[in-house]
Amino acid sequence: MSSNGPVKGAQAQVGINYGRVANNLPSPSTAVSLIKSLGIDRVKIFDADSQVLAALANTSIKVSIMVRNQDIPGIASNASHADSWVAQNVVHHYPATHIATILVGNEILSDTSIKSSTWPALVPAMENIFASLQARNLTAKIKVSTPLASDALSTSYPPSAGAFHSEIATSVIQPLLAFLAKTGSSYHANVYPYFAYAGNSGQISLEYALFGSGSTVVQDGSLGYRDLLDAMVDSTFAAMERLGYGDIPLVISETGWPSAGDSGQVGASVDNAQLYNARLAKKVASSQGTPKRPGVSIPTYIFALFNENEKSGAGTERNFGIFYPSGSRVYDLNLSGKS
């Protein structure tokens, strides 16, 4: 089993997403110090920035790096492009920097503007990156995957009905799952109970979204759900199962809760963000799994390290950080999973 995939009975660690869509962030070395202060042993970045990777060198932090969406078609069509990318962004830093995962793109199936240019190139790009790693005998140490958003699913309720959109199920998802199975990699899902709750607060209770329900809220056949995250994750497992790949492990590559937002954005508060992430850390540390996959630990990356002031969209988008750019905490958070 890969070091970055779920292990039955093992304690999964909480990681952090280190996004940098801002003009006021501290240096990478300061950011790494803040990551260490959280007691975190894994980090995900949204590129392969050499300064960030240098700052992470000679730490015990496992790093997930990313191929940018716009680089996918070139890497897919030309194996030498893939090899150059690996040479520059992996070999140049590894093993001093503990690169554990290469993520090819970010939520590319959510962007219909690149549907013809990039969606068909996703798995070929992953295969070319993998082949470059294989030529260097690195595939046992470094895995290849891609993070997908929840909108890859056309159905997620009840969880057992989870299914991928027909438009992508056989053309992109099936080859992706075959690649992950063949290479011993994990499906990376970005899962946000906050957005599900905020978009449907009339039907979904805040307690269910914040791990605060003391009893079953959703009964799905023989499985009972006390929190929305489990339901969303199990709908993804069901969707994979529907395509014949129910055994592929899963990583939650992004989840989190905003500490502030625009007026009228329900549920966005410091208290709720602190509650969500603290309870999440406890849940991940317990390795309890989900109703559909009990006892299977799921590595989970909180979004995000910093509030990022140049992110577009609603106010919540700029308020997912645990830290302000100054380095002070938005709220206290114990990520050890211990009370």
Known catalytic residues? 107, 254
Question: Which residue from 162, 291, 296, 293 is spatially nearest to 235, judged by alpha carbons?
Answer: 162
Contact 274, 336 (CB under 8 A): no
Cα-Cα-Cα-Cα dihedral of 110, 246, 137, 80, to 10°? -30
Q: How many residues does the chain have?
A: 339
Residue with the two structure tokens 């500490």: 259
What lies within 8 Å, CB to CB, of 43 at 6+ separation is 15, 16, 17, 18, 35, 56, 61, 62, 63, 64, 305
Contact between residue 289 and residue 297 where contact means Cβ atoms under 8 Å apart: yes
3 state SS of 197: helix
User: Tell me, what amino acid is at 201?
Assistant: S
DSSP code of 28?
Answer: H
Alpha-helix runs per DSSP H in the chain: 28-37, 50-55, 72-77, 79-86, 122-135, 166-168, 174-183, 193-198, 206-209, 228-242, 270-286
**Residue written as token pair 């592929």:** 248
